[in-house]
Structure 1
Amino acid sequence: GIVAAPGFSAKSVFTTPNADWVPKFTVAHSEITTYSDGRWGYHEYSRWPQEFDRQAFHLACIPRYPPKDAPRSAVLWRTLQLEDWKVVNCGVIGVGLLDGELLDSLVKAAEEAINRFYEVSSRASGPWRKQATFITICVRHTIDRLRVLPAFHGVIISLAAHVQRLTLELWGLVKWIQDIHDVVAEQRNLSGRPWEVLGAHTSNPSVAQTLHRAGIPVWFQQHLTTRLAVYEVVEPMPLPQDFSAVPAYPRLLLAKRDLSGALNVPGEWQRAMHALVRRQLCQSSLPALLAADDHREPPAKRLREGAVFIGEPSSSLGPAAPVFFVDEGASRTLGHQLPPQPAGYSRQGPSAQATQPSRRARARIKKREIARAAGQPEPPAPRPPDAIPSRQFYRSQLVTLSTSWVNALSNVSPLPQPKSSVRFYSAPPWLVDQLEAYPRDNKSTRYMHHWLSIRTFCRMRLFDRTIDGRPLAISEWRDALYGDYAINESAEAPPEARVPREKLRHTLRENIRLLFGKANALPSYDVAAQPFLGKMVITCESLNSDVETQRRVIWDMYETNWRCEVLALDALLVGSDRWSQVERWEREHLVSQIWGSGSSGLDIIPSDGDEGRVWRWSEPPEAGWEACRPHLAAFVSVLARWPGAPPILQNASTIVKVCSPHQYTSILAAAVEFYVRTFVDHYGRLPVPP
């Protein structure tokens, strides 16, 4: 060898035939630590040579320096510091996000590596393509986790370093497939010009010879004997000075009781650490839209003797028997009116004997008689309340909907009273939208203005396991958007709250105040607040006068709810919530292609920039409908796996990419109608359209 250095024991030594230095290697003992820069110290396989693993040959091919043909990759070698984490005022104290410019640089570097792999993927065999697909899904999920969910600085830095790690691993795959795979397969000898890659160490002489001939730096562990000849003896080189030696907080480590030494099997500890990162830092899934007991029937009620139901004959003598309504749970939930009374119903009950009118009834009769005697017209009968937009479709006057969605939602409207309280992942857009034939809430401007102040927290709570992330009922969203979070723990409930329904209403209102106000320190609504929409500062006055800004806010509500609902319904129907984490990520990756390029199930947050507001539901002969083919293909591919999918959707994912405009319209209409009806059947309300 050229140089040699002490091995793991006094009787072993590391030698190398194609390098002038020997790294300090370490064994995978029972604890592998993440440090404050997000790296894994001597176990950082993306920056430091590790033991060779034939199933992960590409790890030895990771570049040591930024490739000359990859100008955006320099950020992958950057050491992350606390200053790269920026505090975010989102209602949870002490959390933040990665610096925006740094995140953009990481995203561009990751996309550069992904695109480069796609360019060479035709030369890769199936297992390598599958491994690259898995790495791509993981890196996109991690990027979405960085982009969407604020967290403590240790978590954010560790996630950003994981993006660097996975992207460098992709570059190792590119190098392996593009330059080295054929050299190894054809047993060519390139030992005279080693590649600028990490290399690996091994105790297998056959592996050492293979790596040496392929031009990969190799360090061979062997017994120290008198026959060993080297040019120079050197000390093992420690990690570069920019590597941190301070453990991360919160600690992320692999603490495993490993008496057998199984972690030192080549590649084993890397897989274990990747699983640890996915479990501790990246695990996130939407809560169910309905709780498990939302459809449970209420317990049977014992009626008092003499009570009868409407229409039941009575043979009792004397005054009419009392009439009881046994309300189901849905009648007592908030945000919905009680079911209308049956036609022709009278509180007198079935008895023919008339009861004495109440004092209020007699006063109303007398008032009408006085008005009639004075020649005044009788006041019109009160207008029955309109069905709320979760049960009846009303067209928006501010945002555009596809014709197929309008038809599908109109065909199932109106819906009956749902069996359980309907819930929404994000603020229902119709609380602030301007709808045809439905009155707009006079507090809509306040709702929109305050929504911009709390929407980061509302998104964060969907995935953060430390916050109650369940979807909220309509009345709870009204309270949240109204923004009265003042808590007076010593105050008693108002007198009207002693009525059971009002008592429940008061309790839920206080719970919203605790969720948004006390536990998470969100301030109450302030008309002088100036929240951001992208890079724009929004005031109450500008929001009230600028219709375009209103459209952007309302579109954000529509799009967020739509994305969450598709993910939730798909998880319910295919059972992906019971799959392994990796399998669930692959399914969510497919679902997210419906509205974007396909990243992860965390991609529920539309971009605030104009580039995120892309219309993907154009229909022939509208301009730009051809560009919507990939998104419809992903939509029908997801729906085709659902129970009861119509035959037209079974093979439509490939047909829509090349079909005629007429066939495209037919498939789109069938897909949207099937989605709407399936959603209504399972959740009892209209879905929020895109």
Structure 2
Amino acid sequence: MVITSPNMDYIPAYPVDRQVIETYTDGLWGAHEYSRLPQRLLPGRWHVACIPASASPPEVPSVLWLALRPDQDWRQDPGIGFNGLGYIFDETRAALEAAADYAIRRFDAMSAPANVRDYGKMLVLILRQVVDRMRHLPAAPSVSIAVAAHVQRVCLELAGLKTYIDIVAPRLASSEDYSMEVLPVVGTFVGDGTEAQSATRVGIPTWFLQPLTEDLPVWAVVDTRGPPSMMSQQTMDPPIFQRAQSLVGVSNLTGNWQESMLLRVSKHVAGSHLASLSVVEVPAVPEADPPPKRLRLHDEDAQATHPLEGSSRPRPPSESSTRLPAPASVAPQPSKSLCLSPFYQLPAAWEAALRAVSPVPLSVSSAVYFYPPPFLLDTISSLAPLADDCEHPQHARSDEKVHRYLHNLVRIRRFLRARIFDPSLSHEPLSISEWRAALWGDYQMKTHPPNAARSPSDLRRAQRRQDRRNAVSRLFARVAQLRSYRED
């Protein structure tokens, strides 16, 4: 097979079909970056061949071809409170936002068939989400660069859609020959003679894959031109996008892989969704507690082996008999029962609904939370008096740790918000005990073994608690790079 071109004087590198398409440090996809380099023509993807090859302000600004680098176009935000997260430079980010806004307005003013319009609306939706992600959410350098590169990619695809509707589609519908009016677009590779003839006739740069025969006329032989030097050749380490069956990158699906890649990358760099919860099958909870089991004895077991003599002497009062009676009721557990807040009044309908299901039956697994549970913080510190403006002082609960919880929460809350929607951070929900450890702020690893004098079950339970506490310490000390809490 050879690659020939009827209207170009160079041969670009052919994007060989691969099982995995890798992401590079500039956020692009190397030889498979369809917004920069020609790709194989796919059904219904003529607009990809119509993506502009160079800038033409103001419609297609030069920032869409800017080679993004983590060391040049990204800065760390010191206001977040921990290291490693930041934003694209303000000037670059503002230019990308302006380019995205212009691309959206150009599409809104464009008249197109329904199928093209629907696909363009999907691109606009993706572009809005990616721009919001770039503007509002801090991220690691590799993620921020990938997000900015995706803004460039979608803007250029919208520009290609505009060129296709305004110029190429009318040429395809016409019978005239536009082969001498070659458009300044990226072009396409074709493997069919009919496609090669159509692409050449409408003025799209065309490279034709065909067998080498004696009848093939060749006017010049040229070397293959590689990707532009500004494109990075260093793969992302670790890669941003992974699948279970792929070691790195994103699997190159059969068929329309370009749209599949677009949607998958959009989901990873701009998808704002919580981590999935592992749903387990919970057995049915009985309405009433089962009666306590009593020890069953046979008649022969109930007979004593020696006579018992009763004593009529009165026993002296023991210490246990003089104890105060136990309280009639135990304070409800806030995680299982409704505990009214001293600071605000619940709506009547919501309070009635919570009372109807309170207390919640004991579940087979611990409840988990994406943010600190309110009942850990909705208490009164035992070190401070009750405020005079407290609306419902009768509902106040005292906690000797809440003052430290609140003080440390102010320090770590930026990280708690960032980790929820950032796929590059650990954003799994935490249990109540893990949130207590996080709010307490002691992020030193505990390596001492549990007390060996305990029973085996107690040892295993203590080891599990220590492992969970160490996992919280690793999250805040290594991922967020936060120090342990200090009162000063």
Relative to the length of structure 1, the TM-score reads 0.51
Label 1:512 to 1:161 Cα distance change in 2 as closer, same or farther (>3 A): same
Aligned residue identity for 1:426:
Y
Work out the CA distance in 2 between the residues paired with 1:511 and 1:452: 26
Equivalent of 1:447, from 393, 401, 405?
Answer: 405
Q: Which runs of 5+ in 2 are unaligned?
A: 247-251, 303-314, 380-389
Q: Does residue 1:479 correspond to 2:437, yes or no?
A: yes
Q: Say yes or no: does 1:44 pair with 2:33.
A: yes
Aligned with 2:347 (options 406, 429, 437): 406
Aligned partners of 2:108 and 2:343: how far apart in 1? 43
- Counterpart pick for 2:107 among 114, 117, 120: 117
The CA deviation at 1:174 is: 2.9
Q: CA separation in 2, counterparts of 1:89 and 1:301?
A: 60
Deviations 1:613-659 (A, max 9, x none): xxxxxxxxxxxxxxxxxxxxxxxxxxxxxxxxxxxxxxxxxxxxxxx
Conserved in 1, the CA contact under 8 Å of 2:268 and 2:423? no
1:44 positional shift = 1.6
Question: Hey, what does 1:514 align to over in structure 2?
Answer: 470
Q: 1:466 to 1:201 in 2, by over 3 A?
A: closer
Determine the structure 1 residue equivalent to 2:485.
525
Deviations 1:509-529 (A, max 9, x none): 63453122145524222334x
3-state secondary structure, aligned to 1:15: coil
2:360 aligned residue (418, 421, 436) = 418
User: Aligned-pair distance for 1:57?
Assistant: 1.0
How many residues are treated as equivalent by the alignment?
439
Instruction: Give the 3 Å change call, closer, same or farther, for CA 492–21 of structure 1 in structure 2.
Output: closer
Give the CA deviation at 1:59. 0.2
Contact 2:15-2:31 at 8 Å conserved across structures: yes
1:526 partner amino acid: R
Residue 78 (structure 1) aligns with: 66
Provide the C-alpha distance between the structure 1 equivalents of 2:233 and 2:442, rounded to a whole number of angstroms. Answer: 47
Alignment partner, residue 54 of structure 2:
65
| Code of the aligned partner of 1:184 | L
CA distance in structure 2 between the aligned counterparts of 1:100 and 1:449, rounded to whole angstroms: 32
Deviations 1:317-363 (A, max 9, x none): xxxxxxxxxxxxxxxxxxxxxxxxxxxxxxxxxxxxxx998625515
User: Which of the numbers 280, 289, 300 marks the counterpart of 1:292?
Assistant: 280
Q: Percent identity?
A: 28
Paired with 1:461 and 1:129, the residues of 2 have a C-alpha distance of 36
Report the 3-state secondary structure (helix = DSSP H, G, I; strand = E; otherwise coil) of the residue aligned with 1:426.
coil
Please state how far the C-alpha of 1:56 moved relative to its aligned partner.
0.6
- Residue 474 of structure 1 deviates from its aligned partner by 3.8
Question: What stretches of structure 1 of length at least 5 have no aligned partner?
Answer: 1-7, 258-262, 308-315, 317-354, 366-380, 529-690
Do the aligned residues in 2 keep the contact of 1:34 with 1:248 (CA within 8 Å)?
yes
Per the alignment, residue 377 of structure 1 pairs with: none
Q: Distance in 1 between matches of 2:42 and 2:323?
A: 91
CA distance in 1, matches of 2:225, 2:41: 19
Counterparts of 1:64 and 1:197 in 2: how far apart (Å)? Answer: 5
Q: Which has the higher contact order (CA 8 A, sep 6+)?
A: 2
Task: Letter of the 1:244 partner, please give it.
Answer: S
Q: Is 1:305 paired with 2:295? A: yes
Does residue 13 (structure 1) correspond to residue 4 (structure 2)? The answer is: yes
**Rounded Cα–Cα distance in structure 2 between residues aligned with 1:409 and 1:501:** 40
* Structure-2 change in CA distance of 1:66 and 1:468 (3 Å): closer
- Relative distance call for 1:493 and 1:207 in structure 2 (3 A) is same
Superposition pairs for residues 325-474 of structure 1, below 5 Å? 359-360=319-320, 362-364=322-324, 385=331, 388=334, 391-392=337-338, 394=340, 406-414=347-355, 415-419=357-361, 420=363, 421-429=366-374, 431-432=376-377, 436-437=391-392, 438-439=395-396, 444=402, 446-459=404-417, 462=420, 469-474=427-432
2:342 and 2:89 map into 1 onto residues whose CA distance is 34
> Of 12, 17, 25, which residue of structure 1 is paired with 2:14?
25
**Alignment map for 1:210-359 (pairs within 5 Å):** 210-221=198-209, 228=217, 235-251=223-239, 268-271=256-259, 273-274=261-262, 277=265, 286-287=274-275, 291-293=279-281, 303-305=293-295, 359=319
With over 3 angstroms needed to count, the CA separation of the structure-2 counterparts of 1:443 and 1:132, relative to structure 1, is farther
Quickly say closer, same or farther: Cα 1:508–1:238, change in 2 above 3 A: closer
What's 1:634 paired with? none
Secondary structure at the aligned position of 2:44 is classed as helix
Paired letter, 2:185:
V
Query: Which of 199, 203, 207 is the matching residue for 2:195?
Result: 207
| Code of the aligned partner of 1:239 | P
Residue 177 of structure 1 is matched in structure 2 by 165
Q: CA deviation at 1:68?
A: 2.4
- Give the CA RMSD over aligned residues: 5.1
Cα distance change on mapping 1:155 and 1:470 into 2, 3 Å: closer
Q: Is the Cα–Cα contact under 8 Å of residues 52 and 201 in structure 1 kept in the other structure?
A: yes
Change (3 A) 1:96 1:295: farther
Structure 2 counterpart SS, 1:54: coil
Work out the CA distance in 2 between the residues paired with 1:254 and 1:306. Answer: 60
Letter matched to residue 436 of structure 2: R
Going from structure 1 to structure 2, the CA distance change for 1:413 and 1:27 (only over 3 Å counts) comes to closer
Going from structure 1 to structure 2, the CA distance change for 1:364 and 1:494 (only over 3 Å counts) comes to: farther
Q: Distance in 2 between matches of 1:393 and 1:36?
A: 51
Check whether the contact 1:289–1:425 (CA below 8 A) recurs between aligned residues.
no
The answer as to whether partners of 2:41 and 2:190 remain within 8 angstroms in 1 is yes
Structure with more of its chain in helix, by fraction: 1
* Structure 1 letter corresponding to 2:69: Q
Comparing 470-479 and 270-279, the one that deviates more? 270-279
1:197 Cα deviation from its structure 2 partner:
2.1
- What are the superposed Cα offsets for residues 570-628 of structure 1, whole Å, 9 maximum, x if unpaired? xxxxxxxxxxxxxxxxxxxxxxxxxxxxxxxxxxxxxxxxxxxxxxxxxxxxxxxxxxx
When residues 13 and 86 of structure 1 are mapped into structure 2, their CA distance, relative to the original with a 3 A threshold, is: same
- What pairs with 1:609-628 in structure 2 (closer than 5 Å)? none
C-alpha contact 1:61 1:197 (8 A) present in aligned 2: yes
1:660 corresponds in structure 2 to none
Q: Which amino acid aligns with 2:169?
A: H
Cα distance, 1:138 vs structure 2: 4.6
Q: Distance in 2 between matches of 1:297 and 1:67?
A: 67
For 1:523 and 1:295, the matched residues in 2 are separated by 42
Distance (whole Å) between structure 2 residues aligned to residue 25 and residue 162 of structure 1: 22
Are the equivalent residues in 1 in contact too, given 2:11–2:225 (CA < 8 A)? yes
Offset, 1:99:
2.9
Give, as a single letter, the amino acid of the residue that structure 1 aligns with 2:470.
L
Contact 1:88 1:150 in 2 (8 A): no
> Do the aligned residues in 2 keep the contact of 1:59 with 1:172 (CA within 8 Å)?
yes
CA offsets per residue over residues 136-172 of structure 1, 9 Å max, x none? 4555565677665745x55554454334323322222
In structure 2, how many angstroms separate the alpha carbons of the residues matched to 1:29 and 1:469?
A: 32
> Any idea what SS the aligned residue of 2:189 has?
strand
Equivalents in 1 of 2:431, 2:242: separation in Å? 41
Q: State the Cα deviation string for residues 451-470 of structure 1 (Å, max 9, x = none).
A: 24333544565567898754
Q: 2 CA distance for matches of 1:359 and 1:90?
A: 61
Query: Is contact 2:143–2:424 with CA below 8 Å preserved after alignment?
Result: no
Residues 93 and 520 in structure 1, CA contact (< 8 A), matched pair in contact too: no
Q: Is the 8 A contact 1:30 1:254 kept in 2?
A: no
